[in-house]
Amino acid sequence: MEALFFNSHGGYLEGIVRGFKAGLITQTQYNNLTQCESLDDFRMQLSATDYGNFLANETPPISTSTIAEKATQKLVDEFNYIKSNSVQPLTKFLDYMTYAYMIDNVVLLISGTLHERDTHDLLERCHPLGTFDTMPALCVATNVEELYSTVLVETPLAPYFRDCLSAQDLDELNIEIIRNTLYKAYLEDFHSFVLSLGAPTSDVMSPILSFEADRRALNITINSFGTSLSKDQRAKLFPSLGRLYPEGAFALAKADDVDQVKVVLDGVVEYRGFLEGQTGPGGAGAAGAEGATGQQAASLEDHFFQYEVGLNKLAFLQQFQYGVFYSFFKLKEQEIRSLTWIAECIAQNAKDRINDYIPTF
């Protein structure tokens, strides 16, 4: 049934996405960008890629934040084009892709409400892929109780909040717990959905979502060292999927330091080198960068990004499946991170680190 769907409508969109993939920055183009002496040179080199003249209307001197913002908007436009031409169940699959960004946006607004900040200003900081029509309604709330009630009614995340959290959970001490609780529910739900689609989509997406679950479990574990988060609380935040689940997750829940985490990772060949050379407590970004410590965090995050790129590249080896939509946009996000890194090194005259980016192809 899925193959028949792709032969008609889905195959058309899959072909578009595979065409987008051909526009990803090549290694030669990355090399040219790293040779630039200024951001104006960088802009000229970038205009020779699939990005074209997307910075043409920006008044010099341009900033790295402008480059990242405009590149992200181009990504969002491509996503919206695909979604506007999709039908079920692809539309639902694309909706699931946006829920992760919605979680981050809603948590940002919760944090702003707790700090009595102007949440309308925070709307500008929200990721555009995680916006929804009723998001401004969240800014009307004056306290967490009102915000919680609004979330349950006005957002696509309502089932995750209703099943996992109460209004009493929305406080500053719990803000990262809230984020990880929602991500746990989201990943488990998304995984169930891709399994319901069957092969080949489930064959492609299951490893990707399993890795995301493992990454979150590792981040949660390492970031919880030296904090008040109990081991029982830690265990409740782990998604019930992934290559580390259940035995590895049980061991992570009991871990007291990075060395014990390393022992857990030794059981998965692909993860074995992620913490190589690291000892003692440390942290990594995705599940609460506030608790991260410098070089350890950067090193582990680099391993995560590199492995994620490899998984997403594999998605293009199979036809007639939805994984290519997810993987293309994830690869594009990594490309934007790499471009921003190169641009920042040029702006800061840090040429000795300019090649520390993660290429996509």
pLDDT of 151 above 70: yes
Question: What residues contact residue 304 under an 8 Å CB cut-off, 6+ apart?
Answer: 215, 274, 284, 286
**Mean pLDDT to the nearest integer, 72-100:** 95
Each residue's pLDDT tens digit, 246-302: 999 999 999 999 999 999 999 999 999 999 866 544 332 333 333 334 445 558 999
Between vectors from CA 357 to CA 99 and to CA 213, what angle results, nearest 5°?
35
| pTM of structure | 0.88
d(Cα 335, Cα 149) in Å, to the nearest integer? 38
Please report the pLDDT score of residue 172 as a whole number.
61
The total number of residues shown for the chain amounts to 361
Question: Which 8-state DSSP code applies to residue 293?
Answer: -
Inter-CA distances, 18 with 94, 101, 329, Å: 16, 23, 11
pLDDT over 70 (residue 223):
yes
**φ, ψ (nearest 5 deg) of residue 58:** -85, 130
pLDDT at 291: 38
CB 25 within 8 A of CB 339: yes
Burial class (CB in 10 A: 0-12, 13-18, 19+), 120: exposed
CA pair distance 121, 119, nearest whole angstrom: 5
Of 135, 134, 162, 136, which Cα lies nearest the Cα of 148? 162
Do the beta carbons of residue 103 and residue 183 sit within 8 Å? yes
Say how far apart CA 333 and CA 264 lie, in whole Å.
29
pLDDT-derived band at 231, boundaries 50, 70, 90: very high
The pLDDT value recorded for residue 278 is 66
Mean pLDDT score across all residues of the chain = 86
* CA–CA gap between residue 241 and residue 218 (Å, rounded): 13
C-alpha span between 132 and 136 (Å, rounded): 9
- 26-64 as b/e, with b when 16 or more CB fall inside 10 Å? eeebbebbbebeebeebbebbeebbbeebbeeeeeebeb
Give the pLDDT score at 201: 96
Q: How far is CA 233 from each of CA 151, 165, 181, 253, 356, rounded to the nearest angstrom?
A: 24, 14, 10, 9, 36
d(CA 266, CA 223): 20
Asked whether 40 and 63 are in contact (CB, 8 A), the reply is: no
